[in-house]
Structure 1
Amino acid sequence: MQQELRFATFNVCNLALPGVKYYDDQPPYSPDEYETKIRWIAQQLDRLDADVIGLQEIFSQVAIKDVLARTRLYRDAHHVGVDPDPAAEKLTPSVALISRLPIAEGAGVIGKLPHQLAITLPGVPHPVTDFTRPILHAEIIVSPSLSIDTYVCHLKSKLPDYRNDGSRSLPDPAGLAMLRSLIRRGTDALGLRYLLAEQTHATHRPIVVMGDFNDVADAISTQMVMGLEKYPQEDQEFVNDRLFESYRIQSRRDPLRDVGYTHIHEGNFETIDHILVSAAFNPALPEAIGEVLDVRYLNDHMIFQEPQASDHGIVLVRIGLYDTDISDLPLA
């Protein structure tokens, strides 16, 4: 009997504890606002009913525990994540992962760029050596014979990166600020690609990457993460490094009902939150052990724009496993 796994990615939009200032231009949540927000998030998690969920824009892991306590389906779920570094030059949110399946030891976040990457930004004296936001990695135990390396990411946004470096004397200071953000997003993507390639070569386990990529699937940064270089077909080792956007390889896609988007910016409907999978879940490849059945976008809340709701849609992916029986595996 074919078994099913459900992965979801959810940018919850600034989950912070009440009374704690998380951005200079944003007032902290009151106790009532906080309660309304965590209950809304809890409702979305129960609605998803996913086995593994990646979360972005997390300022407090304690707040996630408060969310889980208000769910029906995740009160005993495993939870991985760390708070942002309070000593950082600029406070930025972190990521987290919730799983009803067991998680192997060693799960955690990666803050430093691998392979001593050091990228210089225009007008900035010190090179970038860290991810904009840490990458979370966890080995999800699906069955005694199957584990999936799961990554949660949140790449640099398109928000212009202004600096006090004299750039305002230039004809278009916004252009330079936007270039910095573009380079940072590309740096995040390259660092993540290095991590994924290393993991593939070391373990050969299936991989799922989910998160807020802050750009569409065809963007260079997203394609860098997927490893979409045109490798020679005979070089199978490198071909197997590739990841695939789950939306494009799903077996039950209905083009007449294509209403997927996860973000609205200046009237543009975009999909910038993605779930990528390795060759193990691409049925077109001989090494597939399962397939992406379908991809669903939960985005109605974006239209109503309630204050507690996120400004991102939620992506849910259903994966069917061909031969692996997970029915006897103890869940959280």
Structure 2
Amino acid sequence: MDINHQHLKICTINLFNYVAPPNAFYDFANIYTKEEWQIKTQWLERSLVEIDADIIGFQEVFSIDVLRSSLEALGYPYFVTIDTPDIEQDYIYSNPVLALASRYPILETPVINLESPIAQQQADFQFSRQPIHAVINIPKLGALDVYVVHFKSQRPVEFESLNLLSKEKNQSASQTADEASLSTTERWLLESQGKWLSTIQRGMEAHALHHHVINTKNHSKRPCVIMGDFNQSLQSNEFHCLTSKQLFRQNETLEALSEFHLHNSRDLSMNEEDRKSNATYYVGAQAKELDYILLSNEFSSYSSHTHTMVNRYEVKDSHLTNPRYGVDHVSSDHGIVIVDISII
């Protein structure tokens, strides 16, 4: 490596129900044993030491203080969360939050506003998991806007679907259909509606965040990174705002938009092998790419203002593709996405 270059390594990790016993996740029976928790935390520590990232985005965090303490011991003095999980009966956790750790100073954590027209059209719109926006001071690069996300899952939105079916049956608005009494056809309809509502929520979240990102960039002119669990392919319609490069039916790239372009870091890697599609999640034998690190145009070699180079893109997934029981079985159900950048 050129010693005149400053290297910046970024990674995103879904921690898959990171909750220290005796607390439980979602249900009173979901409590890690002492041995399981030790295996999970040791796996995380080994992974972070091996990856040696400068900035880390986390999803599915319940035990915030435990994670903060572990990261501080590993050399990450800067840590931020902006939300807290829900706790029922003093020990059952739900609605995990996001976290961000950094070796470099976090200058501020601006509030992600909901000023986008699409968010304002739905009066009660909220993110399913509140994203993090942190401004981090990077040597040689300066201030960098870093966003950590965990967009709505593909799990059908059940409550709204039940209400829709209730209304179709002319039941009162306060009642919901008893799913146990529904026919197979009705349950199928509910699932289809629920999946579509999840897609709508995911799209609303992407557009609300994108609006904030563009407004921030228009004002600050800083480079930015968006990373996390997208819960769907980046090529899906709900994420079109994040991948768009031009106006509708105008094939040419407009110079006025170029500074706002976002790129999948995989596509920017100088290593050609890295640019092939990389799975980050598996459902049986089916491989999916759900986790991403997006980089603003300042990181692209096509930009006239670039002072960076993406050296490598990598997905660490041996715990998924070749798991070892007693080592990986309570680690994570997602691959770890890593990108290594040179700042010239």
TM-score normalised to the size of structure 1?
Answer: 0.84
Which has the larger share of helix?
Answer: 2
Query: Take 1:11 and 1:85, find their aligned partners in 2: how far apart are those partners?
Result: 15
Q: How far off is 1:215 after superposition?
A: 1.3
Change (3 A) 1:181 1:266: farther
Is 1:113–2:114 an aligned residue pair?
yes
For 1:155, the aligned partner's letter is F
Q: Residues 74-130 of structure 1, C-alpha deviation per residue, up to 9 Å, x if partnerless?
A: 2x4311114434379x931111111111211x22664x633471465xxxxxx5421
After TM superposition, the structure 1 = structure 2 runs for residues 139-150 of structure 1, keeping only pairs within 5 Å, are 139-143=135-139, 146-150=142-146
**Which of 34-43 and 203-212 deviates more?**
34-43
Identify which of 7, 10, 23 aligns with 2:10. 7
SS at match of 1:159: coil
SS at match of 1:45: helix
**Which residue is 1:124 aligned to?**
none
Identify which of 310, 319, 333 aligns with 1:311. 333
Change (3 A) 1:192 1:83: closer
Q: How far off is 1:284 after superposition?
A: 1.0
Q: How far off is 1:21 after superposition?
A: 2.4
Is 1:184–2:198 an aligned residue pair?
no
Q: How far off is 1:138 after superposition?
A: 1.0
Identify which of 92, 95, 110 aligns with 2:95. 92
Does the 8 Å CA contact 1:192/1:225 hold for their aligned counterparts? no
Is 1:297–2:315 an aligned residue pair?
yes
Query: Take 2:282 and 2:29, find their aligned partners in 1: how far apart are those partners?
Result: 20
Query: Take 1:315 and 1:207, find their aligned partners in 2: how far apart are those partners?
Result: 17
**Which residue is 2:163 aligned to?**
165
**Which residue is 2:247 aligned to?**
230
Query: Take 1:288 and 1:101, find their aligned partners in 2: how far apart are those partners?
Result: 21
Does the 8 Å CA contact 2:86/2:96 hold for their aligned counterparts? no
For 1:37, the aligned partner's letter is K
Q: How far off is 1:268 after superposition?
A: 1.1
Is 1:239–2:258 an aligned residue pair?
yes
Q: How far off is 1:19 after superposition?
A: 1.7
Q: How far off is 1:176 after superposition?
A: 0.5
Is 1:42–2:45 an aligned residue pair?
yes
Q: How many equivalent residue pairs?
A: 309
TM-score normalised to the size of structure 2?
Answer: 0.81
Query: Take 1:5 and 1:236, find their aligned partners in 2: how far apart are those partners?
Result: 28
Query: Take 1:214 and 1:26, find their aligned partners in 2: how far apart are those partners?
Result: 26
Change (3 A) 1:310 1:109: farther
For 1:317, the aligned partner's letter is V
**Which residue is 1:78 aligned to?**
78
Q: Residues 163-189 of structure 1, C-alpha deviation per residue, up to 9 Å, x if partnerless?
A: 242636646211001011111111111
Does the 8 Å CA contact 1:84/1:91 hold for their aligned counterparts? no
Q: Residues 200-222 of structure 1, C-alpha deviation per residue, up to 9 Å, x if partnerless?
A: 10100000111001112211233
SS at match of 2:134: strand
**Which residue is 1:329 aligned to?**
none
Does the 8 Å CA contact 2:86/2:95 hold for their aligned counterparts? no
For 1:28, the aligned partner's letter is I
SS at match of 1:186: helix
> Aligned-residue CA RMSD in angstroms?
2.6
Q: Which runs of 5+ in 1 are unaligned?
A: 121-126, 323-332
Is 1:103–2:106 an aligned residue pair?
yes
For 2:257, the aligned partner's letter is F
Change (3 A) 1:190 1:8: same
**Which residue is 1:27 aligned to?**
30
Give the fraction of aligned pairs with identical amino acids, expressed as a percent.
26
Q: How far off is 1:40 after superposition?
A: 1.4
Change (3 A) 1:217 1:234: closer
For 1:136, the aligned partner's letter is I
SS at match of 1:114: coil
Change (3 A) 1:87 1:39: closer
For 1:86, the aligned partner's letter is D
**Which of 160-169 and 197-206 deviates more?**
160-169
Q: Residues 39-77 of structure 1, C-alpha deviation per residue, up to 9 Å, x if partnerless?
A: 211111111101111111111211212432564xx2x43
